[in-house]
Amino acid sequence: MTVKVRFAPSPTGRIHAGNVRAAVQNWLFARKNQGRFVLRIDDTDLERSTKENEAMIETDLTWLGLTWDERYNQSLRFDLYQKAADYLKASGRLYPAYETAEELDRRRKVQLSRGLPPVYDRAALNLSDAEKAAFEAEGRKPHWRFKLDGKRMMWEDMVRGHCEVDTTSMSDPVLIREDGAFLYTLPSVVDDMDMRITHVIRGEDHVANTGTQLEIFEALTGLFDAPLPIFAHMSLLVGADGEGLSKRLGSMSVSQMREDGLEPLAIVSHLAKIGTSDPLEAAPSLEALIEHQDFAKLGRAPARYDFDDLMRLNAGVLQAMSYADAQPRLAALDADLGELFWDTVKPNLHKFADVTDWVAVVQGEIAPRIDDPAFAAKALELLPADYGRDSWAQWTAEIKAATGAKGKALFMPLRQALTGMDHGPDMGALSFLIGRERIAQRLGG
Ligand code: GLU
C-alpha cells in the first residue's frame, strides 16, 4: 500500500498555524513513508474562495518547503460529486428537504424548550410526491440531506486511539444546498475515495464529521472501490495561557510570519513538535523532522502554541545556519562581511534581518558608551598597534594588570565603548572585526 495523504485548505483566507500544522503533519507522514502528498484546494464555496488566496497557499507551502506531488481543485470536480449524489439519491440515502432556515430554526427552538435535542426530525422523508410538487410550484428548491443509518461509528485513530461517534444523536447532514452548491462533506469523502487517500490527518474539530463521513464512505463503496482511510485527529492548539488560540496568534498567517522575517524551518519545527513528547527545538533540516515523525508521540491534550517558543526556535535555526546558506541572504541585505562575521554574530540574532545591526557595529556609526573616561583612556593607551584575531586576550590582560579591573568590571566597559551595547557576540572576534582604527575612535582616540 502506498501512503497517500492530503492537505485540504479552503482558499477563503490566508493559512495560519492551525492549518499549517495539519499540512506539516501530513507532509512529514507522507515523506516518512515514501508516500504521496496531495494538495487539494477545497474551493466548493465559489463565493468565498478566491484565486488570490489559492495562490498565497501555494506560495506559503513552497516557502515552508512542503512540496506536493499532486494538486487538485474541487471546483473542477463537480461532475464527480454529482455522480456520487445521483448514486446516493438512487439508493435512497440522499433526500430532498424543503424547510427554510426560519422553519428549521423555529423547530429547533420548540425542541429545546421541551428539553429535546435539536436534531432534524426528518419530516421531509415523509413528503408525498404531491407535497413535493406543491413546494416546487411555490418556487422552493430543495436542499439535500444524507440519511444517517444511526449507528455507532468506530475507528482506531492514530492519535486518539479507539474512537466512537454515535450518529443517532446527529441531524442528517445537508450535503447539497438549495442553490445546488455542494457543502464540504460530500466532496471531501468523494475525493478521499477517488484519490485513494490512505490516511486522513486533520484537526480534532473534525471528529464528529468523521462519524458522518464514515457512513458516507460506506454508502459509496458500490461506486468507488476504495478502502476506508485511517484517521488521525490532532488535538487543538491553545495559546501560551492555555486558552484557545488568541486572536493575535490565531490570525497570524504564514504570509505575515514570512513578512515578519521568521525562518520557515523554525515554523515547521515548531508545528511538528508542539503537542509531542519530543523536545521543542529547531531541527537542523526538514529531513531530520521526517525521521522523527510518529503519531504515537502526539498526545490528546491540547498543544501549546507559544510565540516565545517559536522565537526561540527561530534563533536556533539562525544559530545553526552555515555561512554558505546565509551568504546569499547576507549579500541581499548588503551585510556580507564574510564567514567570521556571520559565525560571530549569528548566536545573537532573533531574526535574520537583525544582522544589519551588527554590520553597523562592525563598520558603521554607533554611539559608544563610556561611563569612566579614565578607564577608556587607559585602554586606548594599551591598545596593540597591530590588532589581530587573538589580540583581545592580550589587550584585556594588560588593561587588567594596569587598572586592577577584572571580570564584568573589566569587560563591560569595553563592550559598551566598542559596541554601544551591554550584550552581544564574543568580543574577541567582534573587536577584531571592528578593527583597530574604529576601536581607537570609540575609546575617544
Ligand atoms: N477544508 C477543510 C478544512 O480546512 C478540510 C478538512 C479535512 O481535512 O477534511 O477544515
| pLDDT tens digits for range 432-442 | 999 999 999 99
Please, are residues 261 and 315 in contact by the beta-carbon 8 Å criterion?
no
Residue type present at position 422: D
Question: Closest Cα partner for 172 from 84, 96, 107, 103?
Answer: 96
Ligand 1 in contact with 233 (CB < 6 A)?
A: no
Cα–ligand 1 centroid distance for 88 (angstroms): 22
Q: For the chain, where do the domains classified as CATH 3.90.800.10 start and end? A: 80-176
Torsion sign (Cα): 410, 416, 422, 427: negative
Q: Which of 159, 184, 212, when mutated, tests ligand 1's pocket best, judged by the most ligand atoms within 8 Å of its CB?
A: 184
Cα–ligand 1 centroid distance for 203 (angstroms): 8
CA distance 152 to 40: 29
Q: Is 95 helix (H, G, I), strand (E, B) or coil?
A: strand
Cα–ligand 1 centroid distance for 306 (angstroms): 24
Q: Look at residue 239 in the predicted model and tell me its pLDDT.
A: 87
Pick the atom of ligand 1 nearest to 205's CA: 10
Ligand 1 in contact with 213 (CB < 6 A)?
A: no
Look up cell 541581499; give the residue: 332
Q: For the chain, where do the domains classified as CATH 3.40.50.620 start and end? A: 1-72+235-320
The arrangement of secondary structure in 1-72+235-320, i.e. its CATH architecture, is: 3-Layer(aba) Sandwich (3.40)
Pick the atom of ligand 1 nearest to 7's CA: 8
Cα–ligand 1 centroid distance for 202 (angstroms): 7
CA distance 385 to 383: 6
- The whole model's pTM is what? 0.92
Look up cell 483566507; give the residue: 13
CA distance 223 to 83: 9
CA distance 389 to 138: 90
Residue numbers in the chain where pLDDT is lower than 70: 246-251
Ligand 1 in contact with 8 (CB < 6 A)?
A: yes
CA distance 90 to 95: 10
Q: Look at residue 251 in the predicted model and tell me its pLDDT.
A: 59
Pick the atom of ligand 1 nearest to 188's CA: 9
End-to-end C-alpha distance for the chain, whole angstroms: 74
Q: Whose CA is nearest to atom 3 of ligand 1?
A: 9
Question: Closest Cα partner for 269 from 254, 250, 256, 287?
Answer: 287
Class of domain 80-176: alpha beta
Cα–ligand 1 centroid distance for 330 (angstroms): 39
Helix (H) or strand (E) holding 376: helix 373-382
* Alpha-helical runs (H) found in 33-158: 51-64, 78-90, 101-113, 129-137
Look up cell 548566536; give the residue: 347
Q: Which of 42, 191, 204, when mutated, tests ligand 1's pocket best, judged by the most ligand atoms within 8 Å of its CB?
A: 42
Q: For 293-357, give the DSSP string.
A: --GGGB-SSPEEE-HHHHHHHHHHHHHT--HHHHHHHHHHTT----HHHHHHHGGG-SSGGGHHH
Please, are residues 192 and 8 in contact by the beta-carbon 8 Å criterion?
no
36 grid coordinates: 504521496
Q: Look at residue 29 in the predicted model and tell me its pLDDT.
A: 98
> At what angle are helices 264-273 and 17-32 packed, to 10 degrees?
80
Q: Which of 188, 199, 201, when mutated, tests ligand 1's pocket best, judged by the most ligand atoms within 8 Å of its CB?
A: 188
Cα–ligand 1 centroid distance for 8 (angstroms): 5
